[in-house]
Amino acid sequence: MTLPLPGELLPKMAAELQTYLADRRIDTPHFIGIRTGGVWVAQALLEQMGRDDKMGVLDVSFYRDDFTQNGLHPQVQPSELPFAIEGEHLVLIDDVLMSGRTIRAALNELFDYGRPASVTLVCLLDLNARELPIRPDIVGATLALGDDQRIKLSGPAPLALELQTLSAS
Amino acid sequence: MPKDVMRSLQLNDQGQLRHFLSLDNLPGALLTEILDTADSFLEVGARAVKKVPLLRGKTVCNVFFENSTRTRTTFELAAQRLSADVISLNVSTSSTSKGETLFDTLRNLEAMAADMFVVRHSDSGAAHFIAEHVCPNVAIINGGDGRHAHPTQGMLDMLTIRRHKGQFENLSVAIVGDILHSRVARSNMLALKALGCPDIRVIGPKTLLPVGVEQYGVRVYNDLSEGLKDVDVVIMLRLQRERMQGGLLPSEGEFYRLYGLTEQRLRHAKPDAIVMHPGPINRGVEIESAVADGPQSVILNQVTYGIAIRMAVLSMAMSGQTAQRQMNQDAEEHA
Amino acid sequence: MPTEILGARVIDPTSGIDKVADLYLDAGKIVAVGAKPAGFEARHSIQAQGLIAAPGLVDLSVALREPGYTRKGSISTETLAAAAGGVTSLCCPPLTRPILDTAAIAELILDRAQEAGHAKVFPIGALTKGLAGDQLSELVTLRDNGCIGFGNGLAPMANNRVLQRALEYAATFDLTVVFHSQDPDLANGGLAHEGATASFLGLAGIPETAETVALARNLLLVEQTGVRAHFTQITSARGAQMIADAQARGLSVSADVALYQLLLTDDALTGFSSLYHVQPPLRSRQDREGLREAVKSGVIQAIASHHQPHEADAKLAPFAATEPGISSVEILLPLALSLVEDGLLDLPTLLQRLTSGPAAVFGLPAGTLNVGAAADIVLFDRAGKTTAGEQWYSKGRNCPFMGDTLPGSVRYTLMNGRLSFQAISA
């Protein structure tokens, strides 16, 4: 399988996002990346859109629903939102949308900061493996992976996608 | 018995925290991980909703055999901010034989499917006893045992120092007062050592210094001004009133004269030195109000950091204990 | 019943015998060592080739827990445990409930011991009523009812004046006084030897001076009153040195040590295991070395188990809330053989410290294989092994050596020529 190049997906995503926001008359969106890959994608996207907004960063470790299975992520870092979100329009950005659980955790965390007016979801890739009713508003590409395959994003510059095959254990 | 008993009791097979009993023999990297995690929880405390769903559905029991409203409250708050269900019990140790009460109380709570116990007890080693013999499969957090250890206080003191001084490698830290009876002092000495602090000093009269305190790698001073010279951090300890009995000290007045921290004495320390105290403070006994409320005091910050440290320890131990149970289950299925 | 023990290596520290010989017993006594007496017809024969025959061990302190503490042990269980450890004679401390301060209690203990028939029991009576430290027990009456010495355990005397008078009274009737030398004020609230380990664990310390201060006073009062004195359970190197000094200046005092003090130190407390909670406490390595040297030189002439069995609950609590004591009489011989194993003592010297040494303290009719002496004998396999706890007769399982493999194994114990213990495999 040939993987798309993030650099080629970004211009299209930027354009679609701009249109999307304009259609909804959202003039002052706030951008939030989900640690770690989502932050890289958000940075690249903002650059592509020619914006230099202060971006928010979410670490959803405290909100994950797999704590009892996997425990606490040892490198958990603080979330940083340099703006109030109450009544604001947010653009939430992640790298790869799989089950949707990370986005669920991120939405829960966001609502602990306040009540946003809206949240727009942007993902570089959608793997069509959703376990929750969560779909991106803007997506770079949609891929279907085998059961033993995973996608890993490396970054921040250049952004590159890599296909990993889980060794049978 | 080998020294690593403490370590093996506290860590699971993968080296993660499973009980938090003392700082003895815990790797420095683990202490740093606790501090890092606590840093993240500090940020949660600044939000509109100060709560994360990490321990949702878990039950944390605070079992206090020795009264302490403040420590209990910070543990309760920490557990609540992690969305755990919290029960707090004050158990009188005088009603029946100590051992039976402790054993039976905890077994009963365990039967109610408690996932974690925070235990405070006047006997040194009580938390070890519970983790080893009473409820090995429930995460045990030591909220203070006798004179032995108060590891969450030790770690919150370390977080305070790191947030104000950035590191430990070039620091001079003085611990002042009743070292002998202080579990806080013991935990602080161990933590500072593990985190690489090169100059740890203890200051007090011989009656309040434990025999062989040098084993902690500290320098001993009997004179306050001399001991405070050029230190970056001053940790004052609480002096209990009952120390005036039995010949340990003549009076509070003389103790204050010799070891009370005043603005004038604080000038021996570095100008940017911070002043800490585990609380509750005895104004005019171990510390002057002008110092306790002064610009160099970080005593109230310690309280804030205490909640974050306890959130970190609670979530890490819950995670390590859960993982261990899973490993045991897997091993049983394989067998 | 005429009994012969054939082919054992016979070691008798008093006579200095150490050779392979046959032993002939009759009517509860040793009738010959070596050649079979004319007309001796054995009704029972023990093939003891490869085994060592020694006098049955004499243990100066075995808490039997009866009357009063039968959850912890009984005369029957603890004397059987003693027999399994090679012991044929033992002294029991007065820490019963009620306290052993009346003839009735002494009688009761002796009756039950005889009924059980596992070991000869020699009670140590309370020096003061209820061990309260102020009123003397009826010492002569107690002596006439079987008490061989008198002590107050770790319980303090009201003051030095009372102690002095008690010693004078005991001296009048040539009674032996047993001293546990621990100053109650210096030891007050203490749980462990005052040193680095106790400091680290936050356990209140008992300084070495708790022993030496009391010991100095006791030695001076012994010298003044001329009482016969035995110093029990010495724990410190300096304490042993003070005994040596007193002996050197001609004071006729004896001393014993707990076997576990020769093996363990306060290092063992790391981890808060209540199995190592003992009173007086385990001390430093230096103290252990001093005690070992004193045993080697003979300044300390007796090694005792200081057996203190407990029910499980007594040890199931945080360290400070547990009861002190170690249950170990039933591994006395194998555990003591580790002192030979590690090169401290040769076998005859060890046996002397476990037999005639302690017997001499109270002039007990025990600890020898002389012809005419009571046929109290232990037969053990020097090359065998004992796994502590594989068999366990004591009610108290509070033994930190549980599971250890120890050198040597007791095969037979005979009291008055009759088997009081026989190993299951033997």
Judge whether A75 is closer than 8 Å to chain B, CB to CB.
yes
pTM of the complete model: 0.91
| Between A126 and B47, residue with greater pLDDT | A126
List chains touching B (3+ CB pairs under 8 A): A, C
Dihedral angle of Cα C354, C355, C361, C365, to the nearest 10 degrees? 160
Q: Which amino acid is at C62?
A: V
Give SS3 for C59. Answer: strand
Q: Residue B219: which residues within 8 A CB-CB, separation 6 or more?
A: B199, B200, B201, B202
Higher pLDDT, B90 or C309: C309
What whole-number distance in Å separates Cα of residue C407 and Cα of residue C52? 13
Do residues B174 and B227 lie in contact, with contact meaning Cβ atoms separated by under 8 Å?
yes
C20 and C110, same domain (yes or no): no
CA nearest to A78 within chain B: B40
CATH (domain of B266):
3.40.50.1370
Chain B touched by C200 (CB under 8 Å): yes
For residue C391 the two structure tokens come to 């068999």
The answer on pLDDT for B6 being more than 70 is: no
Q: Write out pLDDT tens, residues B196-233.
A: 999 999 999 999 999 999 999 999 999 999 999 999 99
Structural domain of residue C14, as residue ranges?
3-53+373-422
Report the gap between the CA of B192 and the closest CA in chain A (Å). Answer: 22
Last residue of a domain, one of C313, C339, C362: C362
Dump pLDDT digits (tens) for B123-159. 999 999 999 999 888 999 999 999 999 999 999 999 9
> In terms of domains, do C90 and C139 share one?
yes
Tell me the average pLDDT of chain B: 92
Interstrand relation of C17-26 and C3-12 (parallel, antiparallel or unpaired): antiparallel
Give the C-alpha separation, C4 to B148, whole Å: 60
| Weakest mean pLDDT among A84-98, B83-97, B202-216, C283-297 | B83-97
3 state DSSP class of C177: strand
Query: How many domains are there within chain C?
Result: 2
In a domain, C65, yes or no: yes
Query: Same domain for B209 and B310?
Result: no
CA distance C260 to chain B (A): 15
Instruction: Judge if B97 and B196 occupy the same domain.
Output: no
Across the interface, of A59, A67, A111, the residue whose CB is closest to B40 is A59
> Quick one: average pLDDT of B235-247?
88
Question: Tens-digit pLDDT profile for chain C (426 aa)?
Answer: 899 999 999 999 999 999 999 999 999 999 999 999 999 999 999 999 999 999 999 999 999 999 999 999 999 999 999 999 999 999 999 999 999 999 999 999 999 999 999 999 999 999 999 999 999 999 999 999 999 999 999 999 999 999 999 999 999 999 999 999 999 999 999 999 999 999 999 999 999 999 999 999 999 999 999 999 999 999 999 999 999 999 999 999 999 999 999 999 999 999 999 999 999 999 999 999 999 999 999 999 999 999 999 999 999 999 999 999 999 999 999 999 999 999 999 999 999 999 999 999 999 999 999 999 999 999 999 999 999 999 999 999 999 999 999 999 999 999 999 999 999 864
| Ligand-binding site membership of B183 (annotated) | yes
* B144 and B158 fall within a common domain: no
What residues in chain B have their Cβ under 8 A from chain A's Cβ atoms? Answer: 16, 33, 36-37, 39-44, 47-49, 51-55, 315-316, 319-320, 322-323, 326
* Residue B153 marked in a binding site: yes
Facing C199 at nearest CB: one of B6, B24, B210: B210
Long-range interactions of B101-108: CB distance < 8 A, separation 24+: B101/B65, B102/B65, B102/B126, B102/B129, B102/B130, B102/B134, B102/C317, B102/C318, B102/C321, B103/B134, B103/C316, B103/C317, B105/B63, B106/B63, B106/B130, B106/B134, B106/B135, B107/B134, B107/B135
Same domain for C163 and C245: yes
Judgement on whether residues B221 and B90 belong to the same structural domain of the protein: no
C-alpha distances (whole Å) from C154 to each of C188, C280, C418 are 11, 8, 36
C1 contact partners, CB below 8 Å, separation of at least 6: C26, C43, C44, C417, C418
- For residue B40, the chain A residue with the least C-alpha distance is A78
User: Considering only CB atoms, which chain A residues are within 8 Å of B52?
Assistant: 62-63, 109, 112
Residues C177 and C203 placed together within one structural domain of the fold: yes
- Predicted pLDDT of residue B1: 38
Q: How far is CA C8 from CA C21, C34, C50, C53, C378, in A?
A: 6, 11, 6, 6, 11
Average pLDDT, stretch A87-106? Answer: 95
Same domain flag for C291 and C349:
yes
CB pair distance less than 8 Å for B319 and A114: no
Q: What are phi and psi of C57, to 5 degrees?
A: -70, 150
Asked if the Cβ–Cβ distance from B322 to A79 is below 8 Å, we say: no
Q: What is the pLDDT of residue A147?
A: 83
Task: Identify whether residues C160 and C244 lie together within a single domain.
Answer: yes
Verify that C349 and C379 share a domain, yes or no.
no
**CA distance to C59, C121, C215, C281, per residue, from C239 (Å):** 21, 29, 7, 14
Q: B8 and B105, same structural domain?
A: yes
Q: What angle do CA B164, B166, B172 make, to 5 degrees?
A: 80
Sign of the C-alpha dihedral computed for residues C306, C312, C318 and C320 taken in this order: negative
C and B interact (at least 3 Cβ pairs within 8 A): yes
Residues B100 and B201 in one domain: no
| ipTM confidence | 0.93
**Pick among B315, B324, B325, B329 to test the A interface (most A CBs inside 10 A):** B315
Q: Are residues B172 and B268 in the same domain?
A: yes
B and A touch with 3+ CB pairs <8 Å, answer yes
- E-strand ranges in chain B read 59-64, 85-90, 116-121, 139-145, 172-176, 199-203, 219-221, 233-236, 274-276
Average pLDDT over residues A99-118: 93
Residue C129 lies in a domain: yes
Please, which pLDDT band fits residue A19 given cuts at 50, 70 and 90?
very high
User: Which residues in chain C have Cβ-Cβ distances shorter than 8 Å to B97?
Assistant: 321
Do C255 and C386 reside in the same domain of the chain? no
B238 is in an annotated binding site: yes
pLDDT score for C203: 97
* C222, C343: one domain: yes
Contact between chain A and chain C (3 or more Cβ pairs less than 8 Å apart): no
Q: C393 in a domain, yes or no? A: yes
For residues B201 and B269, state if they share a domain. Answer: yes
Assigned domain for C58 exists: yes
| Domain residue limits at B165 | 151-297
Q: Which two tokens stand for residue B227?
A: 């001991």
Phi, psi for residue C232 in degrees, rounded to 5: -100, 150
For B159, residues 6+ apart whose C-beta sits below 8 A from its C-beta are B35, B38, B39, B305, B308, B309
How many domains is chain B built from? 2
pLDDT in tens, C137-150: 999 999 999 999 99
Specify whether B43 is located in the same domain as B120: yes
The pLDDT score that the predictor gives to residue B2 is: 43
Where residue C245 sits, what CATH number does that domain have?
A: 3.20.20.140
Nearest residue in chain A measured CA to CA from B319: A71
Provide, as residue numbers in chain A, all residues whose Cβ is less than 8 Å from the Cβ of B54.
62-63, 67, 72
Contact A78 B42 (CB under 8 A): yes
> What pLDDT is recorded for position B94?
54
Q: What are the strands of the beta sheet with B219-221, ordered from one edge?
A: B219-221, B199-203, B172-176, B233-236, B274-276
Residues C31, C105 within the same domain? no
Whether C88 and C204 map to the same domain: the answer is yes
C residues 245-274 near B, CB within 8 Å?
Answer: 267-268, 270-274
Asked if B8 and B140 sit in the same domain, the reply is: yes
Residue C367 lies in a domain: no
Both C162 and C277 in a single domain?
Answer: yes
Q: Tell me whether residue C242 is in a domain.
A: yes
What is the distance in angstroms between the Cα of A105 and the nearest Cα belonging to chain B? 9
Looking at the domain assignment, is residue C194 inside a domain? yes
SS3 sequence of C293-329:
HHHHHCCCCEEECCECCCCHHHHCCCHHHCCCCECCH
Q: Which of A71, A75, A114 sits opposite B319 (nearest CB)?
A: A71
In this structure, is residue C142 part of a structural domain?
A: yes
CATH number at residue C377: 2.30.40.10
Q: Nearest C-alpha of chain A: how many angstroms from B28?
A: 15
B9 lies in the same domain as B145: yes
Look at residue B4 and tell me whether its pLDDT is greater than 70: no
Say whether both B319 and B260 belong to one domain.
no
